[in-house]
Amino acid sequence: MAEKLRAGSVVLLEAGLGAGKTTFTKGIARGLGIGETVTSPTYTIVSEYLGRLPLHHVDLYRISGPQETEELGLREILGGPGVTVVEWGDRLGEEPEGAVRVRIEILGDQDRAFHFAGIDP
C-alpha cells in the first residue's frame, strides 16, 4: 500500500482498541523506507518520521471530536508534503478529499480482516 501513497495522501484508520492500527502504520512506515521505530502517539498526538516521504502518525483517541482537532492545527498536516496516517480517523470530522479509509475488523486473537476504501488494490 505504501507504494501507492503520494505526498498529500491521508489514511484514516478505523478500529477498536488492540485491533492493530499502530502495527498497520508500522507497515506503511517500512514501505516508505523509514527505519526508525514507530510507536503509538496516543499521548503526543502527532509523531513525524522521515523516509521516502515524511510520515505524520496521528492518534486521535484522546480527542473528543472535530472542534478539538481544529484547535490542534491538524488541518495543516493533512494534504501536506508527506503521508498522514490517522488512528481513530472518525474523530477528525470532515474527511479530507481523496482520503483512504481502512477499517480493521478483529476476527480472533491473531486474525484481522482489512476493508479498504478509496484506493485500488
pLDDT digits (tens, 9 = 90+) for 69-80: 777 778 788 878
Q: Are 59 and 48 in contact (CB under 8 A)?
A: no
In the chain, where are the structural domains located? Answer: 2-117
* CATH code given to domain 2-117: 3.40.50.300
Model pLDDT for residues 105-118, shown as the tens digit of each residue = 999 988 999 999 98
Residues in the chain with pLDDT values less than 50:
none
Check residue 91 and give its pLDDT. Answer: 84
